[in-house]
Amino acid sequence: MAATILSPQCVPSSDIDAGYVDGKRAGDTIKYPDTPFFRGPLQPSRLECDMVELEISGRLPKDINGTFFRVQPDPRFPPVYEEDVNFSGDGMVSAIQFHNGHVDFRQRYVKTDRFNAEDKYRKAMFGRYRNPYTDNEMVKGIIRTVSNTNVYFWRGTLLASKEDGPPFAMDPITLETLGRYDFEGQMKAPCFTAHPKMDPDTGEMVAFAYEAGGNGHDASCDIAVWTFESENGKLTQERWYKAPFCGMIHDAALTKNYLVLPMTPLKCDLDRLKKGGNHWAWDPNEDQYYGIVPRNGHEDIIWLRADNGFHGHVVGAYEDENGHIVCDLTVADGNVFFWWPPDEAAAGPHSMQAKARQKLISDTFRWVFDPRSKTNTRVTPFKKYGTNGEFSKQDERFLTKPYNHFWQLQMDPTRLYDIQRCGPPAGGLWNVLGHYNWETEIKDAQLAHSKSQSLSLEKGLKMKEMDISSQFSTISMFKEMTF
C-alpha cells in the first residue's frame, strides 16, 4: 500500500488555537468543526492511496472484471465557517478495480481550480457554500466548484461533476486530474449538471444547467439544455430558458422526446448572498415545479406545478401509448436540507446546533404529464409507491423505455444499524438496499453492511453476496437474486 495524507505541516505548539471563534476559523490548526457534517461516517479521510489485494469475505466470481467508481466530499482543510456542510468538501474519487478474482483500490482528490488554490495557501480560502461574497480576496474569481457529486464516462474520459461549475476530467486508470472540461470549447455556461443523461439508443448525452446566466452563484433564473453526440463529441443543440424563480434542479428525467426538469422550492436570493447568507432557503409555501423540455425543436419550456415537496433523484421515465410522459422519482414531504431553513428561521452563527435532522417521508411517486399542457397547469401524482428511500437506480440499458424493476436505498430501523457512528435513524441515513417491482408491487430488501456504501454489479440480473474490505470502507454485493 502506498498512501499520502494531504495535510499541512505541523504548527508550533504556541500557535495552537481553539479552531473557531464566533463561528469562523481562527488560526491554522487542523481542527474540524464538531458537527455531524465532520464526524462519524462523514469524518474527512484526506487520504490518497493505492492498495492492492483487498480482503474479501465470501466468493468473488472471476468473470467480474472492470472498475466501480465513486465520488464523495472529503474536505482537505477545515472550512472557513463552523456551520459549513460537507457539500463544500473537496471531491475524492475512489476506484475499486476487479480483475480475475482480485480487487484493488485507488483513491485521489479531484484537483479542481479551488483545490489548487487552497493547496497554495495551505488552508481553506473559500467561504460559505456557493457564496463567493464570503471568499478570501486572494481567491476571488477562481472557479469554486469541488466536483464532489457524481462521476461518469464520456468518450473515454472520467468526468467528475458538481452542479455549481464545469466538470473536471480524470484519467480513468490513474485518476490523475486532466483539467476543466468544457466539451472542447462548446460549453460556455459557468456550470453543468452532476446528472447528465445518456440515451442508450442514440448514444447522445442530454445535459442541463440551472443558475447558468451569470457565474453560477448569483441567483440567475437562466437554464441551459444541451445535446452532444457521442461519436465525435459535437454539440448538436443548445437552448436557453427562464425558470419561474432561481430554484434547485438537481436531477432530470429523459424520455425519447422530452427532458423533465424537477425544480425544488429551495430558493436563491442575490441580496441574501451579498449579506453573507446561505445560497439556498427552503420555501414551505412554494410549489414544486416540473419543466417539460422538447428534445427536438425549439418549443418553449412548459412548467407544471404540484403541492410543496422536496425532489430526490429520478428513478426512470418514458412515454406511454398516449404520448404522455411517465416520470418516477422520490419526493419528500419537507425540507431534506434542514441546514438551509426558510429565511425567517435563520438564527445566527451557531444555529446549526439548533437544527435537527427531520424524520421525513420520501416516497416514490409516479407522475403522468401531458406535454401539451399549458404552463402553470397543476398536476397530482398518478401513483405512490411507499418506499421511503432515496438514490434510486434502474438498469440504464432501459433508460427512456418502460421498465419494471428498480433499486433504492432505504432505512429499516429493525435491521442492523450503527447508531454510535450514525446517530438515531432519520432522513438521509440508510442501511438497506431495496428492490421494487412496479407491476407486482412486490418489494424485498437486502441488508447492507452497517458501515457501508452499497452497490450492485449486474450480470444479467444476478448478484452474489460478498464483502470487499479495506480500512476505508466496505463494499457489499448481495446474494443471488433472479428476476
Which tens digit of pLDDT belongs to each residue from 17-68?
Answer: 568 999 999 988 899 999 989 988 889 999 999 999 999 888 888 888 999 9
What pLDDT, on a 0 to 100 scale, did the predictor assign at position 358?
60
Mean of all residue pLDDT scores within the chain: 87
Residue 243 in this model has a pLDDT that exceeds 70: yes
The answer to whether 195 is a known ligand-binding residue is yes
According to the model, what pLDDT value does residue 170 have? 99
The share of the chain scoring above pLDDT 70, in percent, equals 83
Q: Which stretch of 209-218, 279-288, 388-397, 426-435 has the lowest confidence by average pLDDT?
A: 426-435
What was the pLDDT predicted at 361?
86
Length of the chain, please? 483
Distance CA 144, CA 122 (A): 16
Maximum Cα–Cα distance for the chain, whole Å? 73
pLDDT band at 452 (very low <50, low <70, confident <90, very high): very low
Residue 424, pLDDT score? 60
Residues 6+ apart with CB under 8 A from 81: 23, 24, 25, 127, 128, 134
Following CA atoms 301, 304, 309, 311 in sequence, which dihedral angle do they give, to the nearest 10 degrees? -40
Cα–Cα dist 128/88, whole Å: 8
Residue 466 has what pLDDT? Answer: 41
Lowest-pLDDT range, 106-110, 320-324, 412-416?
A: 412-416
CA distances from 132 to 135, 154, 262, 341 (A): 5, 30, 26, 20
Q: Which residues pair with 151 in a beta bridge?
A: 160
On whether 250 is known to bind a ligand per the annotation, the reply is: yes
Task: Output phi, psi for 157, to 5 deg.
Answer: -120, 145
Q: How far apart are CA 406 and CA 440, in angstroms?
A: 12
Contacts of 196 (CB under 8 A, 6+ apart): 152, 161, 205, 206, 207, 208
Domain assignments of the chain as residue spans, ordered by start: 1-32+44-144
> Positive or negative, the Cα torsion across 35, 408, 468, 396?
negative
CB atoms within 10 A of CB 89: 21
CA angle 49, 51, 53 (to 5 degrees): 170
Question: pLDDT tens digit string along 126-160?
Answer: 999 999 999 999 999 999 999 999 999 999 999 99
**pLDDT higher at 197 or 432:** 197
Q: What is the pLDDT of residue 82?
A: 96
Give the highest mean pLDDT range of 2-6, 15-19, 199-203.
Answer: 199-203
Q: What residue type is 468 in one-letter code? A: I
Q: What is the pLDDT of residue 147?
A: 99
- The Cβ of residue 186 has, within 10 Å, a number of other Cβ atoms equal to 13
447 pLDDT band (50/70/90 cuts)?
A: low
The per-residue pLDDT for 387 is 80
Residues of the chain above pLDDT 90, percent: 69
**Euclidean distance between CA atoms 376 and 290, whole angstroms:** 10
Amino acid 419: pLDDT:
65
Q: Which of 122-131, 334-343, 377-386 has the highest mean pLDDT?
A: 122-131
pLDDT at residue number 402: 96
Q: If you average pLDDT over residues 293-298, what whole number do you get?
A: 89
pLDDT at res. 301: 97
Element (H, E) at 362: strand 362-369
Residue range 101-113: mean pLDDT, rounded: 97
Whether pLDDT at 411 is above 60:
yes
Give the pLDDT confidence score for residue 463 in this predicted structure. 38
The pLDDT tens digits for 314-339 are 999 999 999 999 999 999 999 999 99
Contact 408, 328 (CB under 8 A): no
Per-residue 3-state assignment (H helix, E strand, C coil) for 314-327: EEEEEECCCCCEEE
Element (H, E) at 273: helix 270-274
How far apart are alpha carbons 306 and 286 in whole angstroms? 9
Report the pLDDT value the prediction gives residue 464, as an integer from 0 to 100: 39
| pLDDT of the residue at 10 | 41
- What per-residue confidence (pLDDT) applies to 434? 87
Identify the pLDDT of residue 4. Answer: 54
Looking at the predicted structure, is the pLDDT value of residue 475 above 80?
Answer: no
Grid cell for residue 94: 475512489
Per the CB < 8 A criterion, the answer to whether 265 and 247 are in contact is yes
418-426 long-range CB contacts below 8 Å, 24 or more apart? Answer: 418/450, 418/451, 421/40, 421/41, 421/451, 422/40, 422/41, 423/36, 423/40, 423/357, 426/357, 426/358, 426/359, 426/360
| Residue among 172, 147, 49 at smallest CA distance from 473 | 49
- Whether the Cβ atoms of residue 71 and residue 110 lie closer than 8 Å to each other: yes
Question: Which pLDDT score is estimated for 480?
Answer: 46
